[in-house]
Structure 1
Amino acid sequence: MRLNNTGAWQPGDAPGGRRFVETHPADAPLRLVSGQTLGPVTMSYESWGALDADRSNAVLILPPLSMTSHAAGPAGPGHRAEGWWNSLIGPGRAVDTDRFHVVVANNLGGCDGSTGPASLDARGRPWASRFPALDVVDQVEAEAALADALGIERWHTVIGMSIGGARALEWAVSRPHRVGRLLLIAVAAATRVEQAGHTHVELELIRRDPHFHGGDFYHLPEGCGPRTGVSLARSFAHMRYGTERYWQERFGGQAWYHDPGVCHAKFREYVLAQGDKVWERFDANAYLVLSETALNATVARGRGGIGEALARITCPTRVLGFSTDRAYPPETQRELAAGIRGARVDIVDTDLGHYGFILAPELIEPHLRLALA
């Protein structure tokens, strides 16, 4: 059954490097924080490097909202682009696949092979608007079931960035015995008010698109989905993840002040094109589900507060932030590290803002090597 109006990976598409594990069959569904259940649940992932005899060299990398499991490798069938950390994962690289078995899981609730709104339920119907709300706790529960299926009892290191960092944090808080080391990149212990405000605007742009139809648009003719809403939402996010200096230098430098019209036109064209690209490879309902999960992310829920939650972490921990990150400013990383016993915090000086972990792998490399040492 092919769905229209979605950039989601669908069964029948080339799998590329994806592998699939059914972690929760329909008759044993995943019980969610909300009280609802979700089943069947399939988790998709990619991996590189061999698992050693005692299964102690496995590294889990948890990507941000719009990234997939294709963190390394070339573009090709099943993968529109080369791996987003291609220069960091591989033989002899910072995440050395001669030494480690590296696993990157696709987000539960996303659209790249793990169960999400564009997946089919037990009766063969797309979930669409019926897909339940998720919590970071639910996502980690599914990732833990994936680890169980792979025979990995304890990760050598868990690495997460942005909302993937919230899941890495949840791993270390809820399952300290399963995490040997922890690297948290550009994340906070709880979603900030300003970040939440920006996200609410993004989601309203999608919901108010007249072609959204409450999330039930997969059965409509191709071209009748909420392309405008998704594209504008991602364009808005893309702008705020960069910085004033970065955008100015990229689109005109001093020309901003001498001929702003030309620079503005180039900037507008670029930003809107980025939004269109996300529509082509993503799913509107998954964008909503994952963004709402990020909105409600807090390590404190049900644990007596942030301090009590962070006190549960027992592994060596490094926290990395970026000096110009407006989504998760440096003070949030310092606060996070201050609550984790023995944690080391590093703030990278860069003009790249929140996108530092994608756009400047050379800035990340030494910190990855230290975390994995």
Structure 2
Amino acid sequence: MTAVLSPARPGSARTAGPAPLVGVGGCPAPRHDLLRLGRLVCEGGGVVPDLQVSVRRWGAPPRADGSNVVLLLHALTGDSHVAGPGGPAHSPTGWWPGVLGVGAPVDTERFHVIAPDVLGGCSGTSGPAGASVPNALGGADFPEVTVRDQVAAEVRAVQALGIRRVAHVIGASAGGMRALEWAAQTAVPVDHAVVVAAPAASSADLRAGLAVQRAAVTADPAWQGGYYAPQSGPTAGLALARQLAVLTYRSADGLEQRFGPDAGRLTAWLEHHGRSFVERFDAVSYLRLIGAMATHDLGRGRGGVQRALRHLPARVTAVAVSSDRFTTPDEVRSLARGTGGRYAVIESVHGHDGFLIETEQTATVLRSVLA
């Protein structure tokens, strides 16, 4: 399979060659910071009284001009453990092995790499899953957040680390939505945004799928309006929501190729995803995160999507997955054309998750645009 990298204009595509998956040195262990950043007022008027942002960092010291600073933004329910050692609560490889490390496309000997945990999640940054700092809000009292709120929290964190400019921001899926908002803000200017499998604004189709997931959670009798005891809550509804989500992250051809007529194996696979998700995630956190995704719209308050894309101060590379039905290649191509940026395609039968599964192609694209 090949990755196609091109300006977002018809007839100008070129094919990138293969790239090695990992550098010989692998990925070093990160430094982990918990930053206390004061009061955050959200777009909807809600307040996070004592914002905390969890950040992992790798690599070379940051240059004063930010020319070697890379920001890596995880997907919807991911975390800052991108690659390498992550401790007992994390996988041994992270969620993007082969992308980050010594000699990898995001080379830790070349770049200073920052990966924050998202606002509203449950991986150390302020969110509904518990009052992790004094005066924090937990559970259903945690405010609704938007992608812009999440980026506002990340901007504060980066500023607290002494960073005044970012060379590259790379985000995938929900992280790609945040990468676009990073490209639009000017408090910490960004030179280049790599937006993987994310649209300029969430489509009605995407929002409909998220609405059904929300309904699955809130229909569970254990939901109780979000005021459930720790270690309890709507586990059946959350597991069902995750199963619904997984179906949107894969393609019809990919599922047919993997399972064929074997309904038992398919059901077991879906149930496994539901069970494993409930073990690591909180229901209110999940609703806050899908709420942010559902309201994503780069053009809100900026004169519409096309005007916002035209006026982005950062260069943009937009990357699609050929079989993605969560964010279609047409949506990603439209984003790239709107910015006058480059467009890449990861060829995969695996749907939206192709950016995670086709590591070699993803690495090829990133190596090219970060060269």
* Secondary structure class of the residue paired with 2:339: coil
Q: Which region of structure 1 is more displaced relative to structure 2, 141-150 or 210-219? A: 210-219
Retained in 1: the 8 A contact 2:82–2:97?
yes
Question: For each residue in 1:310-365, what CA deviation from the matched residue of structure 2 results, as whole angstroms up to 9, or x when unmatched?
Answer: 12223332110011100100110111011103x01122221011001111111101
Structure 1 gaps of 5+ residues are 1-15
For 2:294 and 2:316, the matched residues in 1 are separated by 24
- 1:238 pairs with one of 210, 235, 246: 246
Contact 1:118 1:126 in 2 (8 A): no
- 2:220 corresponds, among 197, 204, 209, to 209
Secondary structure of 1:245's aligned partner:
helix
Output the CA distance in 2 between the equivalents of 1:168 and 1:53.
Answer: 21
Does residue 1:40 correspond to 2:50, yes or no? yes
5 Å-filtered alignment, 1:39-118, equals 39-54=49-64, 55-74=66-85, 76-118=87-129
CA contact (8 A) 1:40 1:121 kept: no
Identity %: 35
TM-score under structure 2 length normalisation: 0.88
Instruction: Determine the structure 1 residue equivalent to 2:193.
Output: 182
For 1:101-141, what per-residue CA distance to the aligned partner results, in whole angstroms no more than 9, with x for missing partners? 11111010100000000231876575211111111111111
| Cα separation, 1, equivalents of 2:362 and 2:324 | 15
Alpha-carbon distance in 2 for matches of 1:125, 1:212 = 21
Distance 2:285 2:188 in 1: 31
CA distance in 2 between counterparts of 1:329 and 1:37 reads: 34
Equivalent residue, structure 2, for 1:286: 285
- The answer as to whether partners of 1:106 and 1:114 remain within 8 angstroms in 2 is yes
Unaligned runs of 5+ residues in structure 2 are 1-29
In structure 1, the partner of 2:21 is none
Aligned residues: 342
State the alpha-carbon separation in 2 of the partners of residues 122 and 83 from structure 1.
26
Shift of 1:53: 4.1
Q: CA deviation at 1:76?
A: 3.2
C-alpha distance after superposition, 1:44-77 (max 9, x if no partner)? 0111102244243110011111110001113532
Q: Deviations over 1:240-279 (max 9, x none)?
A: 211122112222xxxx3xxx3xx11011001110111111
Alpha-carbon distance in 2 for matches of 1:200, 1:155 = 35
The correspondence for 2:150, drawn from 127, 130, 139, is: 139
Aligned with 1:227 (options 235, 240, 264): 235
Match of 1:6 in 2: none
Q: Is the 8 A contact 2:96 2:359 kept in 1?
A: yes
The worse-fitting range, judged by mean Cα deviation, of 124-133 and 268-277 is: 124-133
Equivalent-residue separation in structure 2 for 1:286 and 1:247 (angstroms): 28
Mapping of residues 294-373 of structure 1, within 5 Å: 294-341=293-340, 343-373=341-371
* Cα distance between partner residues in 2 of 1:206 and 1:46: 31
Conserved 8 A contact 1:181-1:371: no
The one-letter amino acid paired with 1:115 is S
Whether contact under 8 Å (1:72, 1:90) holds in the other structure is yes
Aligned-residue CA RMSD in angstroms?
1.9
**Aligned counterpart, 1:268:** 267
Residue of structure 2 in register with 1:249 after alignment: 257
For 1:20, the equivalent position in structure 2 comes to 34
- Which gives a bigger RCO, structure 1 or 2 (Cα 8 Å, sep 6+)? 2
| Pairwise CA distance, 1:304 | 0.9
Measured in 2, the distance between the counterparts of 1:57 and 1:350 equals: 31
Q: What one-letter code is carried by the residue in structure 2 that aligns with 1:22? A: R
For residues 194 and 53 of structure 1, what CA distance do their matches in structure 2 show?
42
Q: Is 1:163 the equivalent of 2:174?
A: yes
Instruction: Answer whether contact 2:121 2:286 (CA < 8 A) is retained.
Output: yes
Q: Is the 8 A contact 2:48 2:136 kept in 1?
A: no
Cα distance in structure 2, aligned partners of 1:17 and 1:227: 33
Maintained 8 Å contact 1:108/1:116? yes
The runs of 4+ residues in structure 1 deviating greater than 3 Å are 121-126
Paired with 1:46 and 1:218, the residues of 2 have a C-alpha distance of 30
Going from structure 1 to structure 2, the CA distance change for 1:184 and 1:64 (only over 3 Å counts) comes to: same
State the one-letter code of the partner of 1:161.
A
TM-score scaled by structure 1?
0.87
* Counterpart-to-counterpart distance in 2, 1:308 and 1:125: 37
CA distance in 1, matches of 2:133, 2:59: 34
